[in-house]
Amino acid sequence: MSDRTDGYADAALAVARAEGQLGAIEDDLFRFTRTFEGNDSLRMALTDPAMPACRRISVVEELMGGKALPASTALISAIVGAGRASELPEIVNAFLEKAASERDHEVAEVRSAIPLDDSQQQRLAAALSAATRKQVEVKVVVDASVLGGLVARIGDTVIDGSVRHRLEQLKGTI
């Protein structure tokens, strides 16, 4: 992690603490970053040095407006406006790690074919905590390619309980 990435992550953490909305801002930044990573057009637009910063910021505001906290929108806008959109995933991941570390937690990125409700997320967090012997916070990404089941990543550990993975295992035995 570069000093610049670390600096942006620290600044985002300070803003989230000051706003008293750490959990909600974590969720907003996580969701926006996963959308950014999964959408080539958005990534190209926000990283295009030929596009004026004010236009890149207006794209962020259009996408996040009404769906995210104003502080979350301002944080993403600041990163994009500074020409650091290409570093967004690294900055947000560092922010998430710092926020979780403050609470002595690990972040699990869970990919599921369908959205998980709060009860399912709590049960999943409890199961992952028991399996890893760490306090785990779950961040869910809806990913149709999973087909069914879940894929969880906690740091360098991947737990793949997806239907796709099981089918691939079956193909290997035939």
Q: Is 20 helix (H, G, I), strand (E, B) or coil?
A: coil
- Chain segment 49-66, per-residue pLDDT in tens: 999 999 999 999 999 988
Which tokens go with 36?
A: 């950014």
Q: Which residue do the tokens 């000093």 mark?
A: 3
Residue 134 has φ and ψ, to the nearest 5°, of: -135, 155
**Cα–Cα dist 89/94, whole Å:** 8
Domain ranges of the chain: 3-99, 105-173
Cα 49–Cα 51–Cα 52 angle in degrees, nearest 5: 100
- Higher-confidence position of 144 and 34: 34
**3-class DSSP state for residue 166?**
helix
Contact between residue 151 and residue 158 where contact means Cβ atoms under 8 Å apart: yes
pLDDT classification of 68: cutoffs 50, 70, 90:
very high
pLDDT digit string (tens) for 69-79? 999 999 999 99
Residue 85: pLDDT band with limits 50, 70, 90: very high
- The position carrying tokens 């236009």 is 55
Q: Does domain 3-99 fall into CATH 1.20.120? A: no
Q: Which residues contact 73 (CB under 8 A, 6 or more apart)?
A: 28, 60, 61, 64, 65
Residue 168 has pLDDT above 90, yes or no: no
Average pLDDT over residues 106-129: 89
